[in-house]
Structure 1
Amino acid sequence: MEHRDLEDADPEVYQALNDEIERQESESLEMIASENFVPRQVLQAQGSVMTNKYAEGYPGNRYYAGCKHHDKVENLAKERALDLFGGDHANVQPHSGSQANFAAYAAVLDPGDKILGPVLAHGGHLTHGHGVNFSGELYDFGTYAINKETERFEKEDILEAAREHDPDLIVMGYSAYPREFEFEMFREVADEVDALLMADIAHISGLVAGGKHPEPFPHCDIVTTTTHKSIRGARGGMILCKEKYAEDVDKAVFPYTQGGPLMHQIAAKAVSFKEAQRDSFEEYAEQIIKNTEALAEGLRNEGLKLVSGGTDNHLVLVDLRNEEVTGKQAESLLEEIGVVCNKNMVPYDPESPFVTSGIRLGTPALTTRGMKEKELEQIGEMIARRVKNPEDGKMEEKMKEKVSEILEEFPLYENSKVKY
């Protein structure tokens, strides 16, 4: 086997990777709420020799020999996950949040069982029962919705939906909900209808780990999450649960839904969980909250409407129904000045998911770069002015220049050729 540096072995891929570093570093204010930047040590672990080994099974019970170092790394990841999130048992093998949800359902339900989950356009996820997804095909899903007046999830609405659908499991957890996840309230609803409670905390995991959001345990029976997003870790998924479900969760991950775990990915998860245990991560989580509030203030200062009026977490959802642009158009307008976000449906949206009446803006990635309230309020005002003046070419050029100045002030990866 010939070992060569990537630059020599595959110059096309090498160039694409460096172009992407340049895009992240110098061309874009990354405001997609589900994205973040991992530290170099996570990149190193994910690109490690752990990728060379099959390790089917679990620590102490593998199907192949030679896994003693993999056992150590996986146990570290599990121990650190439980320290950060609570619960009795952790499974760190899911390759993604969607696969974690698949396995979590399979652990406690049979095909055809009833689940109650959030409406997709109200912050839910495809794996929360959408018809194009396995969840909508395998299970009998009912939905609960955001209250039209408060634009929040209210107990009386969820309880009414739960009584009507009589679910075996209630799913909470959202990809576009700017308010606190009320685990205790959902537990009360679940107890009313004798249902299990599962929380998908993929978006808020970093805030939970940093102690800036209420914890899902002991209220929830099962918790799923991605291991990236606000927790700023290696891309992947994870399941945490109470002890009574531990064996079923493990069987549902392997061998039911997956084969060999990606041990290089699990090594990177372990590293990122250790980073989240540091005092500095608590400061980071707190700054996310402050930055999102500042972003919301900047948007409101320039007259944009926010779903529920504001935010408690890492994102804001902008309602553009009073403006002259759709979410799709706003996404494009903002990308032209170097602000990367995504079009997003708002509750009771008259537009299709491919057009939408809103945009979703998140602060975890910009907070990672070191930006504070001053910058985020300024960015919010700039976003609002751009959306409200789509034909103003002079404004567009000035904003491009301002975005470049901000990016230069807050570098991401210093000396960042593909070396890691």
Structure 2
Amino acid sequence: MAEATVSSMEVDEPMVYGELIVLGTNGSLPGGDRGRRKNSFTLKKRLQPNGVKPSKNHQVYDKPSNSDIYSSKEHHSVFYTLTRNVICVTYEPSSSTDMFQIGRSTEDPIDFVVMDIFPGASIPSNHNQNHQHQQSTISRFSCRILCDREPPYTARIYAAGFDTSTNIILGEKAPKWKSNGAMDGLTTNGILLMKPKRVSDNGIPDPAGWNEVSVNGGMYRLRETRSAQKPGSPMQGEDNVLVDGTLIDLCGATLLWRSAARMQRMPTQRHIDRLIEDLNGDRPQCPVGLTTLAFPRRGETQQQNDKQPWVYLACGHVHGRIDWGRRGEERMCPLCRTVGKYVPLWMGNEPAFYYDHGPPTHCLVPCGHVCSEVTAKFWACTPLPHGTQAFNAACPFCATPIEGDPGYVKLIWQPPQ
């Protein structure tokens, strides 16, 4: 009998649970993806389960770091610091789940390293913009996701992640309480969730309100302020299960969850390439200079070029770059004499942010990122956390706050003559 060759052997790919994508990154981080610090992270079934589940409660009458439980490597633990003592909840291994951790730390327990996202940083003209250094509000060990290893492969999110000592410590300022005999709490700046509630007739999921998830996975209304010590009221009927389109805010960066099923149906990088090829293939012209306009290919968008299309945001007329017609900081469109902002157009290159396969007919205001009409409408009406208290719609490709109503404009191209 002939021996089976390696080429004839089937190699099973790990089962995919879903994917996390950082809003404000247009296909990659502004400074480039590096190791675990990247714009997206695919959660795949592990060779061996590493999930954990709550086991026992212990009282500790000293600092958590002085306890034997803290120094033990045999189990994971959560320490709740109270006024007079510390309650420690130990966790035991769970053979039915895989755990993935997200945070700012680059230490080994973190699977997906997430840094603060600055508005406009992914726009090529702003790529080298120096942002004033400020202390990050993203926790070093922000949150963890546990995925069931068996169908239907449910993914659940929990506030706080286990550190290099396999511990979570909630200090005195973090909200904490006992409910039905079990301890629970929130992290200092909180982990917020917004799930899509339903899909409207045009196929766009309606954005819902933001809520906060606890260390144990309970859902609560938002606190009065992001870091208030009093928790919001419990949310009846809400759970911490991640469904496609769920937004996760880490207070400094927002993540989009795409389910494995959605990943099979959403546009691909090749689809984006074809959109660019089709636009360029139509050979649109500047109606004034009569020069041919063209988007740079994906991967060649680090700077503007001579064929770069520009748009008057007040009317949507697309031109080449024109240096006259200024009205203060604004420009007058030479076709319709409408005065408004005049910006270069950039293709939205991250497929996960698209909500259909439609043509790139619209751009978001004021950044000029081009996408389909359905996609533009969704992001223009979706409030995202901004700072520690504000909520504003923002472009998913560059995190620039949306301006005006409706927050997008239909592009009017001049065909070749």
TM-score range, shorter chain: under 0.3
Larger Rg: 2
TM-score (norm 1): 0.27
Tell me which protein shows more strand as a share of its residues.
2
Please report the TM-score for the alignment, with normalisation by the length of structure 2.
0.27
Work out which structure has the larger RCO, using CA pairs closer than 8 Å and 6 or more positions apart in sequence: 1
